[in-house]
Chain A
Amino acid sequence: MKIDRRSFLAFVIGGAAGSTLSPLPWKLTDDISIWTQNWPWTPVPPRGERTFVTSTCTLCPGGCGISVCKVDDRVIKVEGLKGHPVNDGGICPLGLSAAQLLYSSTRVPGPLKKVAGGWQEVSWSSALGDIAFQLSELRAKAMPESVAWISESDRGTTAELCKRLLTVFGSPNYIRTPSLQDTLETALYLTQGQRAMAGFDLEQADFVLSFGAGLIEGWGSPGHMLRARSAMRAHGGRITHIDPRLSKTAAKADRWIPIQPGTEGALALGLAHVIIREGLFRKEFVDGRTAGFEAFKQLAGEGFAPEAVAKLTGIDAKTIVGLAQSFAGAKKPLAVCGRGSGRVPGGLQEALAVHYLNALVGSINRPGGVIAVPEPEYINWPEPEMDATASKGMQQPRLDGAGSSEAPLARYLLNRLPKALASASASPVQALFVSGANPVHGLAGTAAVAQAFRKIPLIVSLSPFMDETAAMAHYILPTHTSLERYEDVPSALGFPRPVLGLSKPAIKPLLNTKHAGDVVIELARALRSPVAGAFPWADYEGCLKQTLGGSWAALTKAGFVVDAKFSPSGFETASKKFEFKNSELAKLPAFAAAAAPGDERSFPLLLVPYDTLRLAVGAVGSPPFLMKTLEETVLQQDDVLVEINPSTAGGLGLVEGAAAMLSTPQGRARVRVHITDGIMPGLVAMPRGLGHTAHDKFLAGKGVNINDLIAPVEDPASGFEAGWGIRAKLAKA
């Protein structure tokens, strides 16, 4: 048969038409689709028995109850614990992601020692032996006070064990990381004479006036605050939020009043001025239960008239008067301070000004007000026996200057440590332990922090993850993650009642890690007598069980215990009253708002940080789930977006998403801009929690760490970190 053109075409066209009509292509498409859907690398999760473990979340000081869902020995998910007094079933996105931290690829698998710039795996006994040897040398040289310990908390058995180790070793240098707790505790101490934690009964208040506090952005306990906000609004409560930026809290408030950043304290005094002038304060409280009111009347009376405050804050005088009237006119008003999530302590006098507002309306220690929650008292270990070296070391001044004549009110001043290290020729810190904190990423002015830390000959990190501070350490003694360990949670941050929670291991430790408490006990044992004598417990679990005593059974069953009969105690000042004025308050310098560092001419804009629940700040980095929830207006590929007002953008010729160079007196960084009407002209806002160099590929190298760009600012009244922003310049890149 001859194949000519005609028959060839007929064959091809006929064949094509025929096979189209046959089931063949459809069957093939289907088969290909099924084949591609059955790649062996698509995981099939194994089935098993589903169980729940009742525990308490320790990823932040919020103290939320959690229920950890397991299938056989795998942790599937973390859920909120229904019926828990703090969060009642709700949970924040970070708490929900705890299992991703447990199974994170950045976990340190076992003890590591830095050798020639790289990491070498070592055994626990050799690592602890090495460290104990170096510590003994310091003790032999009679310089035990050169050992310091940085931690996120100073309460609970683990913190107490660390402090105890330092005490019997002879060092007063236990340092809690800075936060709003510092200022609030000091304010309570000064005015009410109490060493107590500040609780806020938001739920029962009916008018909440927030001076920039990110009530739904990580301030206090997120699980509690989000629930309390809904509850207070359900009974008709209203929120007024003061903030230069339309934060989530501002957007969800009933009223948003923009303010010139840094002038919140002046506004509080301005409101006090109006309340006093118009006689709107609660006489029964002010006359009966306070002292020194005349002095405060004078302070608020001079220089804080609405017109003067209007000039400072940019809020017009009529609004100030109206706000003061509605605040004082409410049945249960409550004023709260602390910018964003309260990561920075802020100025003491600003906190005091807001606290005085609460006193004027009687919102102290009453339902719907500020509650002084007593510090937990269940840890009653016998006083340790100290030798001469230890006693001498404990009498040395603290390296951070807390409690010294310069900063008599502060208990911890981590912000001062870098300076103290930099100014000395030989580092006054010879050994530094860091647990539950990441100061190299989290302190303002990171370059100076890292430089100071490089002078320390021995840094021991107790982080479960390879974070920025761990990367700088000489030893990493990895501890269990939040789902693998026992831990008492002595309080819930900002919660108005005492609540004791227990974190329980949901799963056996996956890696060669130890509990921080066990690290302390074993280190003490390796240090031998007399240090070892202060730690009679076999291990941390034994110590915890013995310490919690009668509460242990209830805690392991329900996960928490509350004191149902709690009512706030009376004031413990000399006058047994709330004191607007006393000898200690009189020592404070005159009220002045802290200025942003930098020169206005070279840096015409102001850079301010903001917080979001979708980014973790503090000891842990954001897990992949959180990174996925970040909005496209916050992160685009690896670039962070800074928020600017359209008028700011117009002046600089920047359009939405445009690349720009952001410079401050501290440094510069490439960013993109997000143009929004939700920010005051002249401001640049950047989120906290990005710009990690450590952690996994989901987080590392994304965005900019705002702490690289801002400088530490010290509060003259207390020594606390009080920076709220820095002068900045933005230019097209």
Chain B
Amino acid sequence: MDQHNGSNKKFGMVIDLDKCTGCGACMVACMAENNVPVREDETNKMLSLHWMRVYRLTNGKPFPQSEECFLPRPCQHCEGHHGHSPCVSVCPATATDYDMHTGIVSQIPTRCFGCRYCMAACPYHVRQFNWWDPVWPDGMERMLNPNVSVRMRGIVEKCSFCYHRYQIAKDKAYAEGRRELQEGEYQTACTQACPAGAILFGDLNNPKHAVARIAQPDPAREGKSRNPNAFRLLERLGTNPKIYYLSTREWVRKAGDTEVRKPEKA
């Protein structure tokens, strides 16, 4: 047991897709917070670095029955079975690890040597490879955040749940003689920025936290939500992710768990 933390935490998110407007503030907040570089042409999304990316889902029906929904996708911080998240199990460099005290899947850029096994293992495309040296236009390197290291080319990077913010919040709490953080003290940059209040962040193990009250994870079923409107992406794979999505629309909930089905016989 971690003596500092008392009990183990499991940080997670609840993203309300009915509230999300697809404005993109979470993406920009993430880039600004985490020193994500910008290239001249970012239109090829396969080569574009995004720790947080907002996807657009459609119900596939013709005009005017067509509907759309926006789905922000940070790292899902999979727990798998007892911390065996898909990416952690395959990393030969121990550059990524599952932290049992926080439930955060870390990524240490200086350990990574760019084999990209983790990218192949991740079912959510949250991991991205740095093909180019990060270059900031003249003068813009002045807005780099010293709390997050700038990654070099040739390595894989991904969302860290703004882990540095957890460290800062803990330092502050300890300096004030507290051992436990208040619910709002540690928030990710995307949560803080969302103008629609669609993202909630907190400890899924703490029943007092809003995320736990809304997501209602069922420990007997690997965290599956007991909230009928909640779902996790590709839950069937057993990745046991910590991002819970809410939607009152059935097609959206179904889209979160797509599978390749055999074509129905005509």
Contact = CB atoms under 8 A, between A and B. Distances in A.
Interface of A: 29-30, 33, 36-39, 41-48, 71, 74-80, 87, 89-93, 96-97, 99-100, 102-105, 216, 222-223, 226-227, 229-230, 233, 246, 248, 251-252, 256, 258, 613-614, 624-633, 635-638, 645-646, 676-681, 696-698
A37 B44 CA distance: 24
B146 A93 contact: no
Contacts of A252: 18, 21-22
B68 to A, nearest CB: 4
A77 B145 contact: yes
B32 A697 contact: no
Contacts of B70: 248, 251
Given A628-B31, A632-B43, A697-B40, A91 B143 contact: no
Interface in B179-205: 192-198
Contacts of B40: 697-698
* Highest count of chain A CB atoms <10 Å: which of B29, B60, B109: B29
Contacts of A37: 109-110, 152-155
A226 B192 CA distance: 14
Contact of A635 (B43, B67, B197): B43
Interface residues of B, number: 68
B41 interface: yes
B150 interface: yes
B64 A39 contact: no
Contacts of B145: 45, 71, 76-77
A624 B150 contact: no
Contact of B18 (A48, A104, A222, A233): A233
B25 A90 contact: yes
A230 B38 contact: no
A665 B136 CA distance: 41
Nearest to B143: A99
B32 A96 contact: yes
Contacts of B214: none
A534 B113 CA distance: 68
B133 A45 contact: no
Interface string B109-148: 1100110000000000000000001111111111111100
Contact of B66 (A43, A90, A246, A624): A246
B62 A91 contact: no
A44 B136 CA distance: 12
B44 to A, nearest CB: 8
A92 B26 CA distance: 9
20 contacts: A41-B133, A45-B141, A77-B143, A90-B196, A93-B25, A93-B28, A103-B143, A216-B23, A216-B196, A227-B196, A246-B66, A248-B68, A251-B67, A628-B31, A630-B43, A645-B63, A676-B58, A676-B66, A678-B68, A698-B40
Contacts of A36: 152-154
Contacts of A39: 133, 152
B42 A627 contact: yes
Given A37-B154, A76-B145, A698-B38, A226 B32 contact: no
Nearest to B49: A628
B29 A96 contact: yes
Given A33-B113, A246-B66, A614 B21 contact: no
Do most interface residues of chain B lie in helix, strand or loop, or is the interface mixed? Answer: loop
Nearest to B33: A77
B61 interface: yes
B195 A42 contact: no
B126 to A, nearest CB: 17
Contacts of B19: 229-230, 233
A91 B138 contact: no
A715 B19 CA distance: 36
A222 B137 CA distance: 28
A104 B146 CA distance: 20
Contact of A74 (B113, B142, B197): B142
B68 A43 contact: no
Contact of B193 (A44, A91, A248): A91
A70 to B, nearest CB: 10
Nearest to A37: B152
Given A43-B144, A223-B195, A33 B154 contact: yes
Given A89-B192, A230-B196, A624-B38, A99 B114 contact: no
Contacts of A38: 152
B193 A230 contact: no
Interface of B: 18-19, 21-25, 27-29, 31-33, 35, 38, 40-45, 48, 50, 54, 56, 58, 60-70, 109-110, 113-114, 133-146, 149-150, 152-155, 192-198
B195 A646 contact: no
A680 B65 CA distance: 11
A79 B193 contact: yes
Contacts of A71: 145-146
A-B pairs with lowest CB-CB distance, top 5: A90-B195, A45-B144, A677-B66, A251-B68, A226-B195
Contact of B150 (A44, A92, A222): A44
Contacts of B194: 90
A97 B146 contact: no
Given A79-B192, A678-B63, A227 B110 contact: no
Contact of A646 (B29, B62, B114, B155): B62
Contacts of A633: 56
Contacts of A89: 192
B146 A46 contact: yes
Contacts of B135: 41
Given A33-B114, A105-B137, A627-B42, A80 B195 contact: yes
Nearest to A41: B133
Given A45-B145, A77-B145, A677-B62, A627 B25 contact: no
Contacts of A635: 43
B142 A105 contact: no
A222 B23 contact: yes
Contacts of A80: 192-193, 195
Given A678-B63, A698-B38, 18 more contacts: A33-B114, A39-B133, A42-B134, A44-B150, A75-B143, A77-B32, A79-B29, A79-B193, A90-B193, A91-B25, A105-B138, A105-B139, A624-B137, A626-B24, A629-B27, A636-B43, A637-B41, A680-B63
A124 B74 CA distance: 49
Contacts of A698: 38, 40, 137
A41 B66 CA distance: 48
Contacts of B29: 77, 79, 91, 96
Contacts of A104: 137, 139-140
Contacts of B195: 80, 87, 90-92, 222-223, 226-227
A629 B146 contact: no
Contacts of B69: 251
Contacts of B66: 246, 676-678
A164 B69 CA distance: 49
A67 B185 CA distance: 17
Given A42-B134, A246-B68, A677 B61 contact: yes
Given A90-B195, A91-B193, A256-B64, A43 B137 contact: no
Contact of B136 (A30, A43, A46, A251): A43
B159 to A, nearest CB: 16
Nearest to A46: B146
A103 B139 contact: yes
From A46, A92, A223, A635, name the one whose CB has the most chain B CB atoms within 10 angstroms.
Answer: A92
Nearest to B60: A677
B143 A76 contact: yes
A103 B32 contact: no
Nearest to B41: A637
A313 B78 CA distance: 50
Given A37-B152, A100-B143, A251-B68, A696 B28 contact: no
A153 to B, nearest CB: 22
A203 to B, nearest CB: 12
Nearest to B64: A258
A594 B31 CA distance: 43
A33 to B, nearest CB: 4
